């Protein structure tokens, strides 16, 4: 009788162990599925964020270039108007140029500022916001396989073994 009791006890423990193993495996599978879905959602959000950032960067770049073009065009028009107002003449006695206002007849030895070739200060690119600080979309890591730059968050998601942080 004690042998049968021990054998039954071992069988019950074996059945309970198998059931517990099945339950643990199901829990692990469910957790793995949940983590996979979380990772895929994070990856989709990162891709969408990077695409939005690229679109915003292109839009900003276009605005900056349009602003620079308009400034240059306005400056050219202003110089043209200045040519219609001022006349550049040479004084033979002093061997120097002077400028005469065609409307008022006034003369001046100093060139009007608008006539100067270097009056346009090309500072329009300073208005372009340069990324600084821990911006998630500022590309700092280059992938040697495809040659592209990736932001830190994208790099950590897709290349965890290459992450140096």
In tens, the pLDDT along 14-45 reads 888 899 999 999 999 999 999 999 999 988 88
pLDDT of residue 3: 85
The answer to whether the beta carbons of residues 135 and 56 sit under 8 Å apart is: no
Strands 96-101 and 107-108: antiparallel
pLDDT of residue 117: 46
Query: What CA–CA distance (Å, rounded) separates 133 from 107?
Result: 54
Residues of the chain with confidence (pLDDT) below 70: 1, 112-152, 154-155, 159-165
Q: Cα separations (Å) of 161 from 36, 151, 155, 158?
A: 18, 15, 10, 9
pLDDT of residue 40: 92
pLDDT of residue 18: 92
pLDDT of residue 72: 85
């Amino acid at each position: 009788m004690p042998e049968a009791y021990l054998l039954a006890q071992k069988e019950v423990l074996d059945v309970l162990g198998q059931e517990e193993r099945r339950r643990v495996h199901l829990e692990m599978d469910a957790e793995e599925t949940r983590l996979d879905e979380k990772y895929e959602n994070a990856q989709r959000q990162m891709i969408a964020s990077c695409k939005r950032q690229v679109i915003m960067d292109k839009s900003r770049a276009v605005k900056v270039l349009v602003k620079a073009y308009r400034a240059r065009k306005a400056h050219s028009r202003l110089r043209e108007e200045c040519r219609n107002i001022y006349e550049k003449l040479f004084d033979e006695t002093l061997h120097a140029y002077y400028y005469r206002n065609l409307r008022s007849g006034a003369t001046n030895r100093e060139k009007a500022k608008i006539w100067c070739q270097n009056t346009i200060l090309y500072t329009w690119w300073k208005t372009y916001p340069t990324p600084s600080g821990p911006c998630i979309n500022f590309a700092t890591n280059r992938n040697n396989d495809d040659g592209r730059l990736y932001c830190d968050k994208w790099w950590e998601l897709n290349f965890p073994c290459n992450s140096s942080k």
